[in-house]
Amino acid sequence: MGKVKKPCCCTIFIILVVIVVAAGIAYAVLRPKNKAKSSVDETKYADALKVSLQFLDIQKAGKLVNNKISWRGNSALKDGSELNVDLSKGLYDAGDHVKFGFPMAFTATILAWTILEYGESMKKVDQYKPATNSLRWITDYLVNAHPKDNVLYVQVGDGEADHKCWDRPETMSDKRPVSQINKTSPGTDVAAETAAALAAASLVFKKSGDASYSEELLKHSKQLFSFADKYRGLYSASLPKVKKFYNSTGYGDELLWAGAWLYHASGEKRYLDFVTGKAADDYANFDDPTWFSWDNKLPGTQVLLARSSCFDADAGGNSVIEMYKKTAEAVMCNVLPNSPTTTSSRTDSGLIWVSEWNSLQHPVGHAFLANLYGDYMKKSNNKKLDCDGETFGPDDLRDFAKSQANYVLGENPAKMSYLVGMVGYGEKFPEFVHHRGASIPADEKPSCSEGFKWLESDEPNPNEATGALVGGPYLNETYVDARNNVKQGEPTTYSCALAIALFSSISATNDVDKSLS
């Protein structure tokens, strides 16, 4: 056999160049397209935003204008009439027909915050107008519910009586009593939350050019804050019947939350002094991360005041504001899965899980706060978050937020989207949502008791409660799609608002502004 001739160095070099070039071409062709993948994700999240906003339309009471929900009609037109007050608008709280003012005001605050931070991105997917229309539907109601100083109507309908009926809102015939708080029966929590909602909304309508409405909202907000602060007490102590439904565990968080929003809305130093003064000593619980919800506004307050630390020359450098910011960072470290101080309150698949009632409220709410805080970090060129020696950045917060959103949209063991009307990444969504209007055919007019046959029916809801975010899975990640499974299957407007906030934040294409005004 002859001798094998060795290739020269030039030949080897040419071969290597060819291999490298070919490999580069192959990599360029075959590599994952990060930009394209991000575009697909953001399209999915924008779709989820559009779907979520429809649930607020489904929940509207009163004389519906430009109604787009075929199975909904006018309802509750006489609410408040016996008091010569128009309380016909507002939102039904969940699958029932009660207007609970406390969670409704929280819904408005979150919706307003979302529009303020991500409104420009919402405009690009034609969701700014639906969002502001829904916000105004609530704030019109809240303004009417505050007919004079030191009086606030906080509920329409009786929870216990309402839950003994299963009928459509358009044909309900049970009595609609109105409950109020006043100087002798105070409700600091609900008055302060309403003040927060109206202050945040005043900024929205100021930006949109409706100056007179903005000023009206701010006037009511200031009056309600003074009422809340001067006459202190839990509204569930003044109105014991609400304990079964929305029992408030404290009012200090609402006072700080409202003070923070009024500082942003008015620019008045007295509100900055309030949130950094004795109220902070009494209620801020610095360095103690808690769970954001309709009942606990502290994490939201901490993130909102961290915004002031990042962008506000008057508040930046204030030692107490810096303590709020530090606590906001502890909230972030608590939910980041790889943080040394991360919570154990999560499912095996990584969903934050705190309560079996309405379990999705906490992961969705904290995902929104996390992504928003990451956006503050980027805008302020502060790229490092220290969690007990481990460093994280805005992208880590965004990844966490997307993981919670993806779980909601179907990346979970049940392969189910928990957002009705949105298949997302799953194969199905709940069809037996605990919702009176959705469960009864639109051409039926059952009495209070006659409608229970639809609660007990084994047929899927005839009307789709599009955009409803159901309660969610248990800790073991199971979900039973049954109409009488209230814990898991009943949607709420405040969880819907948090979902709108989350999907808006992770589909955003615009940076947050340094100013909310």
The dihedral formed by the CA atoms of 512, 398, 337 and 329, expressed in degrees to the nearest 10:
-10
CA distance 91 to 197: 14
Q: Can you give the three-state secondary structure of 144-160, one letter per residue?
A: HCCCECCEEEEEECCHH
Beta bridge partners of 62: 75
DSSP string, 297-319: -HHHHHHHHHHHHHH-TTTTT-H
Residue 283, classed as helix, strand or coil, is helix
**Residues belonging to the active site:** 434
* Residue in the structure block whose two tokens are 């919670």: 404
Helix (H) / strand (E) element for 334: namely helix 319-335
* Among 140, 142, 178, 175, CA closest to 161: 175
Q: How far apart are CA 72 and CA 91, in angstroms?
A: 13
Q: Cβ distance 279 to 273 under 8 Å?
A: no
Paired with 91 in beta bridges are: 60
Helix axes 101-124, 128-144, angle to 10 degrees: 160
* Contacts of residue 335, Cβ cutoff 8 Å, sequence gap at least 6: 342, 343, 352, 366, 370, 400
Measure the CA–CA gap between 296 and 267, rounded to whole angstroms.
25
Residue 74 burial (C-beta neighbours within 10 Å; 0-12, 13-18, 19+): middle
Cβ neighbours around 157 below 10 Å, total:
23
CA angle 471, 474, 478 (to 5 degrees): 105
Residue type, 12: I
